Structure 1
Amino acid sequence: MDIQIKPIVTEKATAYSEKENCYTFAVSPEANKFQIKDIVEKLYNVRVERVNTASYAGKRKQRYTKSGLIRGQRPAFKKAYVTVAEGQKIDYYSNI
């Protein structure tokens, strides 16, 4: 199973990472905490202390156009809060 992971870089997530040494990622909904921990440790060479997750359902969206009402749904995703060991940091831009 291929698990996609991408960092969430918002004001709230950045402040949380500076204050608590906890980084936020958007991951595939099928991923579990052990898989998330392994991927983060391999990608960023850090030791992960713990992983907390939150699942988000896809939002329903609709808009009115000339051709009528268009309905759709945003995809569901899971948010992972990864706490790394004391003294270690994750640099999102090192892998670019």
Structure 2
Amino acid sequence: MNTERLSKILVGPVVSEKSTRAADLNRQYVFKVLRDASKPEVRKAVEKMFDVKVTSVQLLNVKGKVKRFGQTMGRRSDWKKAYITLAEGSDIDFAGAE
């Protein structure tokens, strides 16, 4: 896997009540990833970007919601979510100012 692809795998963190609870209780972090990303790619991308040890990766496809845009019905895009479990002692700090 090339480093250019690994740098594009993680689209961004998912910040919600559920993801915050998972981080506090289970050392799990939630990321939005590319639709065609695989578990080994996500693992290597997180380990490379945040310099942590990943224990497990769980991927799931999120279906886009059907929404109304004015008079017409539309549909939001599908996307993929990754639950990353970190090893004991590892931590990701999103608010780390340098």
CA–CA separation in structure 2 for the residues paired with 1:92 and 1:31:
22
Corresponding residue for residue 55 of structure 1: 61
- Which whole-Å deviations, capped at 9, do the CAs of 1:32-70 have from their partners, x for residues lacking one? 111111111111110101100111122221243xxxx22
Question: SS of the counterpart of 2:12?
Answer: strand
Runs of 4+ in 1 over 6 A off after TM superposition: none
Q: Over aligned residues, Cα RMSD in angstroms?
A: 1.8
Distance (whole Å) between structure 2 residues aligned to residue 88 and residue 10 of structure 1 = 21
Q: Which runs of 5+ in 1 are unaligned?
A: none
The amino acid that maps onto 1:8 is V
Tell me the TM-score normalized by structure 2. Answer: 0.82
Question: Mind listing any 5+ residue stretches in structure 2 that lack a counterpart?
Answer: none
Percent identical pairs in the alignment equals 35
